[in-house]
Chain A
Amino acid sequence: MELAGVVFVVGIALVFDFVNGFHDAANSIATVVSTRVLSPRLAVAWAAFFNFVAFLVFGTAVAATIASGVIDPQALSIGVIFAGLIGAIAWNLITFYLGLPSSSSHALVGGMAGAAVAKSGFEVLIGEGIRTIGVFIILSPLLGLALGMILMVGLQWAVHRYQKVDRVNRFFRRGQLVSAAAFSLGHGGNDAQKTMGVILAVLVGAGHLPVGSDVPLWVVLSAHTAIGLGTLTGGWRIVKTMGSRITRLQPVGGVAAESAAAATLFFTSFAGIPVSTTHTITGAIVGVGASRRLSAVRWGVAGRVVWAWILTIPGAWIIAAATYAVIATVQ
């Protein structure tokens, strides 16, 4: 019975990962598609490939943070993790419907924390881990914004005397292939590791692995496969529908935004800090726009990100706590 529960919750975690790839694929390929460097189909395949191979580049520091750096591992039962995942998935669906650019990562942390607190009280939360994640919720988009702006100004300065505009554009169009690949690598690295962390917590919670274990290879591969398949499946549809609504960035802007976001994700993935890839790329795009003038930025989007910052953790927390209360009553 318990093994069936473990398999079921691992399956739900992989569904969460698949939906993450499905939902966030547009972030990494929107600029490549809008500047017509790649067709939507090729762009999605490009992103999915780099989502998958991210396991060769990054370690599992983010997974370790999710598995044991936020909530006391002793408090993580299968019921808690299931309720946490339901809280995160439900919050993602609600915000998808409302058009809020919420973070799957913050929803996951909020959901897990809400379910664990509902089971064992606030003492199970690890203050240091929660504080680091909270600080980087604000820092990661601001880091992306600053890097995006500096890169944009630097690139424009580097080519401003160059007369052959067509050649410059062609160079940056090709450069976007590299920057989109780097962003997809960072997305796969940071986001797939969150699912690995959840699966590791399930396996530790059910006694299949001792506390402090490394992430097994099958978990690494299945998490990267799920996010890659999600990108491959959903990205195509999302890009197709978004096609005309994408803000038209110049190739140089696309390179600057994606490189800035990728650098932020690389740093946080190596440091073991789970951050939102959506907020990071949004910050970087705002930075590229702000390098011209503030009115070039669609501040409505930035404002919605701030609302998502404020609401996501409490929202997922409440749903997960309510789900755990139902599970506890049924048991």
Chain B
Amino acid sequence: MLWQALGLGLGYNATLVTLGAAMLGIAAGATGVFLYLARRALVSDAIGHATLPGVVAGYLVMVALGGEGRFLPGLMLGAAVSAGLGLACVSWLAARTRLHEDAAIGAVLSVFFGAGVVLLTVVQVLETGRQAGLETFLLGATAGMLRAEALGIAAGGAAVLALVVLLRRPMVAVAFDSEFAAGQGVNLRAVDLAMMGLALAITVVGLKVVGVVLIVALLIIPPVAARLWSERVSVIVALAGAIGGLSGYLGAAISATAPGLPTGPLIVLASFALFTLSLLFAPARGVLAAGLRYWRFQRRVHLRQGLLALASGYPVHDPLTLRLMRRQGLVRADGVVTPAGRAMAARARLDERRWHMLRSLPEFEAAAARHDGLSPLSEVLTPDQLAALDRRLGPEGAL
């Protein structure tokens, strides 16, 4: 059954829902990148939780007006209004009081959610038990989703994605250096509003699929995973969209095979799995790659320091340094330096003196900036530059 679901073979409805979730994931991933870059990732948590009172209030209003109550666009409207109000409260608290933004986010998130919970129980009190439909908004449910709803979600996702693509340049500029962007004429307030507005739109569109509590995950996990693979914004946005889309797809497909399980957690776990893979294996910032780099760097530092100590006639005490030098054959087991060690020490010392000379000469400033203090200068300078430097060092230069 799972393979059928993954292969979109479970029928028209299920296919539509899965594709809608995928579209939502793509849009959420892309939108989330800008929030992440602007360090406002957790504001989405406030937006997500703040939708709850609006959803329930929307339901109550629609019922009061004689309608069905569970009309999705009406609920979405309610969600948007209360989330917008929540956002305004976050800004106001952070700007007008001594509280910092994290406190404002946490307060709005929990209080609005609490108010929403009260309203949910109000519905219970007033009512006839039809609230079962509303509680699925907490954690998301694709089971029993209407065709129109699924189409609407796909369309909403696509619309947000289009807006993200349209607005990407100013958003990137502001996220990177807001003062510079302002100097270039970008309207900071408008861009900030746009970014938050897009996050709000994603939240509202995705509410039914992922749920109030977990929609934030779709705005955070794919961007963070994508960030591990690249340093270029356009690549990150594309990757985040891909990861988000894949998560939505997988989560919704699996959810179709198990209608008793809420969809939100499944989508979130799918994206977390992709994140973990990225964290471990991404070449740029993955754990394995970084660990290897650090370990190698540490060895180079220790070896270099050991050689310099030898060259200057100081004893070496650091146990790690001694071990490394012994292993490289620079020092004998009994602690006496070997001929190879002597040669390497002399070379290290020469390089060190070249390095000092290099840093004091303005004409070498560019080269100096590239040097990391460890690699031999022959890797950084051209043979001509190296020769010029050695001439400066004078007769002691060539040991």
Q: Do A and B bind each other?
A: no
**Residues of A participating in the B interface, judged by any CB pair closer than 8 Å:** none
